[in-house]
Structure 1
């Protein structure tokens, strides 16, 4: 059987041929791909001609095509539809791929050529010059300028870190599955809507269990906690969620985190930095941990005060001190009383298919002139994945793949990936994906979304739009390859359309009657947007500050640590945010973003990007909102730029100035 990774896909838009992929193809393709790319790099360094952009930088951009194809598909499956075989291979490959990466970025002959092109970069055009600058700083920050002994230790640390991150993700997935809450008495789930009970029944049946199964989501809280009327059940779900990675045995992440933090701290010192956060932010728009601390420190006291006031109000409503497991339920009760809003009941107006076509796609059509046609003959990585062809007035734009439902083989959370990133050098189009984790109801039942799930849908589609529109000449600058603390900006902007009157009126219709959502309810929804911001901001800031606390440790401080739970408790207390009723959105042992997901020392990115986002929302409001003219300007100046220029310069071109903080403070009730 021919290995499908050894040639470009012949499917439309170079969509990977998932139907042809077998697990046995991966190892062979990874082996061939790494060997091929190392040979390509060797040819670059052996070139007798003087280094220039074409024979060095562009040649490097063309290298590693087989490895890129197999890695894209493999890691898509590893996150979205894994198996025991894929998990085992991922753990085996992690250190080897880290070593392969180091073999390239730490190659002294290659760095000498890149350095020479960098020194002569002024003769290049703007995109070429930016690419050379990015290549050069990435290699320097990766350790290319170190001596041989330091490079050898760096290689060891990179392999260790890669292995630990892979184990963390594997442990979290397995422990999350094991800790799903099994219920055999329907009375224990009183308050859930029929569609939610149907999803819990379906989840139990999928595992061969009687009764109902409440599968856990990635964050600490669970969307059903707002509806379940039985305090003991809510407590069981919260306890299960917060126990992940702490129970001893094979899936315990506590010691693993300590090892990972120590290795990152040592690597940072080798690279000339005090700590890991300094190394990370050196190549982000923030620039330093001090800039991050300044922003988070400015927001934390007001968020804590607001959360305290909310806790007192909710406790009074509940008639007893509110706990973490009670908070969402009590908040929903107060919201109903104050705004006459039952957010759980609103799910009847948020049927997933309508949200997709009449909300998410509708807003993109109005803003950007996009059209979406489903291509059922094209297959994704699982039979549940849907494929849409995207076009505009100028012709095809790319493919959009949607994987909506949760399953045991899929990691928690929601995310976007690029399967193919549009670039001119390799003549590649755009193929992007969205993964969500919506519980699947029984056959024939509608999929009804919570308000949070609706907003998440719009958020992730904002990433997808960024990937579809990004236009670069070179692969390294293509797609969403922008600074990590900027990448959340387009997605957060897209969230605004979920509650935009014209969009909401178009998709919010009762799934049985087709009745539109009462405009008065829609208005109350918008009025209530700042309700609960004390809790929401505090739980987020706790996670962001916890991430910074772990990654601003120097080597000596990291080595002195003996207990992850104690460190977490002390870090949150030091930030002034410790409150048993308001736990962090992610606790250390299930903080996948920073211990397995690439947001290490970078979880601050969401609030950092939200400064730009909130100011951009103000711009749309000032300029007429949902119009093609506004959408085209946003697309041309920000989304289309991909990684071809400094993103803050692009923002200034769009807004006419730097972003103001005030819109964020108003949005979150912190002003």
Structure 2
């Protein structure tokens, strides 16, 4: 039954026909010409909508707008998925070529006077009850008009021309930042030739490091590649202090390698901040943050800073205690250490954690997967089992479909639990392992999204960067990687369970500071296979909060840097760009977050979230904002599970929140799903920032 269903994946215009073994190849020569064909077709469709002389209605204006751009959207979604997972030179060139053209097209869409007039006419006619519209159609229209206003639709012709130039320059700079960041990360990898330098690293992981060295051309040794955050995972295991120092210094030095034009990512990021400040001023806003807040759920800057202030002060206090325990553990393991250094922090944290694990019972270790990690197949079984138990779906592998990237796997998602699958809902594509051409971190993306208007069904991807074991050894996922897998599948569920008329409102198309919430909720089901419902929002024993001070402190420090760059006037941004490092120092000092041992999770030279694209610019706070919702929802799930209503609660949450996407105010969806306004106290408890 699975093989008979068609989801339009892969696109035959972009991919060679799949062979019987599920292989195939992307037609990289088609990205640029097919995108341009899509741009031409979309422009013609927009012009036709704008030129329609009849009174504006949903049928002749809003629905045609929702159907417009099908070829462009299909092509660009596919390119985004493939590029992020496997960006070779051909794809990097295609992205650089298309970036300014796509930016110009976005301006055309948002700033088109005829289209804006047409949508405004429809809005007024609906308000006067001259033409009908459903609640979702009204919401879509309001979102489109707001986006046009925020994009500059109300500006005069000369101002709009200046805005177009700014947008195109921004697009080019963001692309340059992302490409140089990836290149620098590869260049900064630490090569070691003496096995003694890797004391403490598990054998399977050591073999993977040797394989990484061979893949880039070394005939001997081991290659320690850099992950996105400042704290490198290998620092937890490296007993050789010299190697720890080399790896840490390589991590924090990112942002210092000049690109072809002589600029570093830190300098490019500062230039991006200047351009965004100018753009905000042109649109009539004080700074970039103020220009994006109307499209977020956070009501104002002060509400964000109030939350951050509480978290910053609380995490600093908890961090001080944790640093003391880390120092004690390091001195016991390495008596020669006289003074703790930044490269000792992750190592010492793991020493304390290992001692804590030794105190756990064997049963507990088995249940949580902390004894050596979880093999990928077992990890996927846990993820899919939890989704079935809570949301009533089942997942079946589709070996007949080609992987969208090397080593990626394809699955079909059905209504109904395992053994009794019902209707096919969508496809889930998983790309688990790291590779040199892959972006860092973990993410969800979509080849297509659910829409009753266009008839498309969801095809979503999850990408992680798990280091594969060497040939013959077994890859296992750590506790952190398991949490990441559940987190990203939470995003996938948001897309797979979506029900929307318009693609623009479907699934994860919610405000930036709301999009992380459903994925964080899914983390609480990490141990559901063993009958335990993990609750981030519950009151925990003090020992269970170990490490929260460190992780929260470095997180909130990165949030502060993001806000610092994006709350500047153009003149202030120009001054900051003259010395980005000094500017960062002042920003951290102002919040009491300049710690000699704990740098921010991301520095301006490797802050992909805010500089390689605009999605999280002035929005990195979104993770904490969404975490407050997730902690509150976790308490609600715990209450429902304790009353024996987990299945009912999951179906209700799916129907009222996950399926809704952005088809109505996300806070309204939260109230309908949970039955109350979200509270912040569960978040503070989950972070250990209140008495337990």
**Equivalent position of 2:352 in the other structure:** 334
Please state whether the residue corresponding to 2:153 is helix, strand or coil.
coil
- The question of whether the paired residues in 2 share the 8 Å contact of 1:303 and 1:538 is answered with yes
Residues 1:612 and 2:633 aligned together: no
C-alpha displacement at 1:322, in angstroms? 2.7
Q: CA deviation at 1:124?
A: 1.6
Q: Answer yes or no: is 1:190 the counterpart of 2:199.
A: yes
Instruction: Choose from 116, 121, 126 the match for 1:116.
Output: 121
Other-structure match for 2:10: 16
> Structure 1 residue 121: deviation in Å?
2.9
CA distance in 1, matches of 2:524, 2:340: 31
Q: Please give the TM-score of this superposition, normalised by the length of structure 2.
A: 0.90
Q: Could you tell which deviates more after superposition, 554-563 or 399-408?
A: 554-563
Tell whether 2:545 aligns with 1:530: yes
The whole-number CA distance in structure 2 between the counterparts of 1:121 and 1:642 is 23
> How far apart in 1 are the matches of 2:665 and 2:86?
35
CA apart distance, 1:341: 5.8
2-side partners of 1:361 and 1:668: how far apart? 28
SS state at 1:346 partner: coil
Task: Give 3-state SS (helix, strand or coil) of 2:295's partner.
Answer: coil
Query: Is 2:660 the partner of 1:641?
Result: yes
**Is residue 317 from structure 1 mapped to residue 311 from structure 2 by the alignment?**
no
676, 680, 690: which one aligns with 1:657: 676
Give the Å deviation of 1:211. 1.6
Q: 1:409-448: CA deviations, max 9, x gaps?
A: 1010000011110110011111110000001112232111
Pair 1:559–1:36, CA change in 2 (3 A): same
> What SS does the aligned partner of 1:348 have?
coil
Per-residue deviation, 1:58: 1.2
Q: Which residue of 1 aligns with 2:558?
A: 543
2:61 alignment partner, SS class:
helix
CA distance in 2, matches of 1:499, 1:206: 36
Contact kept? 1:220, 1:242, Cα under 8 Å: yes
Q: Is the 8 A contact 2:99 2:171 kept in 1?
A: yes
SS at match of 1:624: helix
Is 1:464 aligned to residue 492 of structure 2? yes
Moved more, 14-23 or 269-278: 14-23
User: Residue in 2 aligned with 1:554?
Assistant: 569
Report the equivalent of 1:599. Answer: 616
Distance 1:11 1:172, change over 3 A: farther
Q: Residue by residue, what CA displacement relative to the aligned partner does 1:2-61 show, whole Å, maximum 9, x if unpaired?
A: xxxxxxxx9821112364231211111111111111111111111111222221221111
2:310 to 273, 298, 302: 298
Contact preservation (8 Å) 1:347, 1:450: no
- Contact 1:19–1:379 (CA under 8 A) maintained in structure 2: no
Question: In 1, are the aligned partners of 2:111 and 2:152 still within 8 Å (CA)?
Answer: yes
| Aligned residue number for residue 178 of structure 1 | 187
- Contact kept in structure 2, 1:220 and 1:585, CA below 8 Å: yes
Query: Do structure 1's residue 348 and structure 2's residue 360 form an aligned pair?
Result: no
Equivalent in the alignment of 1:512:
none
Task: Return the offset for 1:662.
Answer: 0.9
Q: Which runs of 5+ in 1 are unaligned?
A: 1-9, 507-524
Residue 660 of structure 2 aligns to a residue in which SS? coil
C-alpha contact (below 8 Å) 1:223/1:450 kept by paired residues: no
Structure 2 partner of 1:202: 211
Shift of 1:587: 0.7
Q: Give per-residue Cα distances to partners, 1:53-106, cap 9 Å, x unaligned.
A: 221221111111111111111122221101112112211211111001111210
- What is the aligned partner in structure 2 of residue 589 from structure 1? 605
Match of 2:247 among 233, 237, 245: 237
1:490 aligns with 2:518: yes
- Equivalent position to 2:460, from 426, 432, 437: 432
3-state DSSP class of the match of 1:113? Answer: helix
Offset of residue 349 of structure 1 = 3.9
In 2, Cα distance between equivalents of 1:148 and 1:478: 33
Q: What is aligned with 1:255?
A: 267
Residue 291 (structure 2) pairs with residue 279 (structure 1): yes
Q: Secondary structure at the match of 2:322?
A: helix
The equivalent of 1:153 in structure 2 is: 162
Larger deviation: 161-170 or 335-344?
A: 335-344
Q: Following TM superposition, by how much is the alpha carbon of 1:154 offset from its aligned partner in structure 2, in angstroms?
A: 0.4
Residue pair 1:44, 1:55 contacting (<8 A) in 2 also? yes
Distance in 2 (CA, whole Å) between partners of 1:41 and 1:19 is 28
CA contact (8 A) 2:525 2:533 kept: no
Aligned residue in 2 for 1:105: 110
Question: Structure 2 vs 1, CA of residues 267 and 501 (structure 1 numbering), >3 Å: closer, same or farther?
Answer: same
**Conserved 8 A contact 2:448-2:457:** yes
Residues 345, 54 of structure 1: CA spacing in aligned structure 2 closer, same or farther, 3 A cutoff?
A: closer
Q: C-alpha displacement at 1:505, in angstroms?
A: 11
Work out which of the residue numbers 58, 63, 67 in structure 1 matches 2:63: 58
CA contact (8 A) 1:121 1:132 kept: no
Provide TM-score, normalisation by structure 1.
Answer: 0.93
Classify the secondary structure of the residue corresponding to 2:641: coil
Q: Is the 8 A contact 1:486 1:605 kept in 2?
A: yes
Kept after mapping to 2: 8 A contact 1:157/1:263: yes
Q: d(CA) in 1 for partners of 2:211 and 2:531?
A: 32
Moved more, 252-261 or 544-553: 252-261
Aligned-partner SS, 1:159: helix
Aligned mates of 1:70, 1:338 — CA distance in 2: 50
Q: Deviations over 1:189-232 (max 9, x none)?
A: 11111221121111112112112111111111111211111111
1:39 equivalent in structure 2: 44
Displacement, 1:149?
1.0
Alignment of 1:228 with 2:238, yes or no, is yes
Of 201-210 and 398-407, deviating more is: 201-210
Partner Cα separation in structure 1 for residue 313 and residue 473 of structure 2: 45
* Residue of structure 2 aligned with 1:137, choices 146, 149, 152: 146
List runs of 5+ in structure 2 lacking aligned partners. 17-25, 332-337, 417-421, 535-539
Instruction: Name which of 589, 599, 617 aligns with 1:573.
Output: 589
CA 1:504–1:449: 2 relative to 1, 3 Å: farther
Pairwise CA RMSD: 2.0
Deviation per CA, 1:582-641: give whole Å up to 9, x if none. 111111110000001420000000000011100111011111168321210110111010
For 1:505 and 1:311, the matched residues in 2 are separated by 30
Q: 1:376-387 maps to which residues of 2 (within 5 A)?
A: 376-387=399-410
Q: After the TM superposition, which of the residue ranges 417-426 and 311-320 deviates more from structure 2?
A: 311-320
Q: 1:326-374 deviations in whole A, cap 9, x for unaligned?
A: 11111121233345369999352411211111x1111111112221111
The answer on whether the counterparts of 1:311 and 1:322 sit within 8 Å (CA) in structure 2 is: no
- Worse overlay, 367-376 or 36-45: 367-376
Deviation at 1:383, TM superposition (A): 3.2
Which residue is 1:4 aligned to?
none
| SS of structure 1 residue aligned to 2:445 | strand
Per-residue Cα deviation, 1:218-249 (whole angstroms, up to 9, x for no partner) = 11111121111111111111111111121334
Cα 1:156–1:592, aligned 2, differ >3 Å: closer, same or farther?
same
Distance 1:347 1:27, change over 3 A: farther
Q: 1:504 to 1:352 in 2, by over 3 A?
A: farther
